[in-house]
Amino acid sequence: MFCCIGIYAQTNNALIEFSASVDSREVYPGDRINYSLSVYYPSGYKVDLELGQLVENLDVINIQKPDPEWDDARERWHKQLHYEIAVFYLDDFTIPPGICFVTSPDNTTNILITQKIDIAVLSMLSNNISNQTLRDIKDIASVEPDYTLIVVLILFVIIIAVGLYLYKRYFSNKAEAEKEILPHEPPESVARRRLRLLAEHLYIEKKQWKKFYTELSDILREYLNKRYAIVTFERTSDEIITQIKTAYIEETVVEYIEKILIQADLVKFAKRIPSPNEAKSDFSICTDIIDTTAMQTDEAPETHESVIHDTQDEGGCS
């Protein structure tokens, strides 16, 4: 049985056809399913395909990524992604939706999602259960216990525990005696120091965009967490922006924070490739966000061109 479940999206008057399919919706435990993602898209667009998180007892044993081919009938490019999935499930299960990241010529990214596909797992038993032979369970075999290994392991654990206790007690006392009470470092100082280290890594010159935007996003998230006591890690960009809007921050600054977080998401997850000038601009914006929202301290911010304030003088965010 062949199943095809898909969606169609209209983006900038260019038709994007995205669908998911399996070669069978009824399988036995141990069978393999061929699952495919297919997308038709016009020239000038970039697409990336991936499958959502599979449930337990499903293993992807093979992935094929053929090169895109031109389809004369549709006058569009055709890209596919094939998964060979081994089934170790005894109950019915669902294959999660397929995901397609579509980047248009103007660098706008849309996300398309197919429907999920339900798979029925058939029983290995014959339909005529009366023909199945049931056998008696054998008697429990008696085994003489051997406690030698257990005793050795217990003694070993006791020796290690005593050693760790003495080691920790000795060095903790020594550390307490030598410990110096350091003043609390303001969040803006931590963020500026991390930005200097980020610049020294030369990720922009090396075009290591994912590393650059991952660290830039982490620096901004950590600063917002310490500066405004909001939860930023393990939160989506939209969730962070919702919290920031209640922190009495200027609307223009909020817009730039949202710009940095969304740009980082596109580079990390949608594999967007920014230009070096764009990355340098985002670095300057992040620096200016910290300087603009920092608490009054004796530390002077590093000299740089203010992106936020210059934009405000010109009449708003570009």
Q: Residue ranges of the domains in the chain? A: 3-121, 187-314
pLDDT of the residue at 222? 93
Q: Is the pLDDT of residue 12 over 90?
A: no
Q: Is the pLDDT of residue 111 over 60?
A: yes
Q: Which residue has the tokens 């029983």?
A: 123
Rounded to the nearest integer, the mean pLDDT of the chain is 80
pLDDT of the residue at 313? 46
Residue burial 47-66, b: 16+ Cβ < 10 Å; e: rest: bbbebeebeeebeeeeeeee
Q: Is the pLDDT of residue 304 over 70?
A: no
HSE-up of residue 100 (Cα within 13 Å, Cβ side)? 28
Residues sharing a CB contact under 8 Å with residue 229, sequence separation 6 or more, in sequence order: none
Could you tell me what percent of the chain has a pLDDT over 90?
31
In this structure, are residues 52 and 97 in contact, taking their beta carbons and an 8 Å threshold?
Answer: yes
Q: How far is CA 123 from CA 28, 54, 67, 85, 128, in A?
A: 7, 22, 38, 19, 12
DSSP 236: -
Q: What is the phi-psi region of residue 271: left when phi exceeds 0, alpha when psi lies from -120 to 50, beta otherwise?
A: left
- Comparing C-alpha atoms, which of 107, 105, 110, 108 is closest to residue 39? 110
pLDDT of the residue at 148? 87
CA angle 231, 53, 241 (to 5 degrees): 25
Among 12-26, 124-138, 229-243, 255-269, the range of highest mean pLDDT? 255-269
In tens, the pLDDT along 256-268 reads: 999 999 999 999 9
Q: Which CATH class is domain 3-121?
A: mainly beta
pLDDT of the residue at 136? 60
pLDDT of the residue at 79? 92
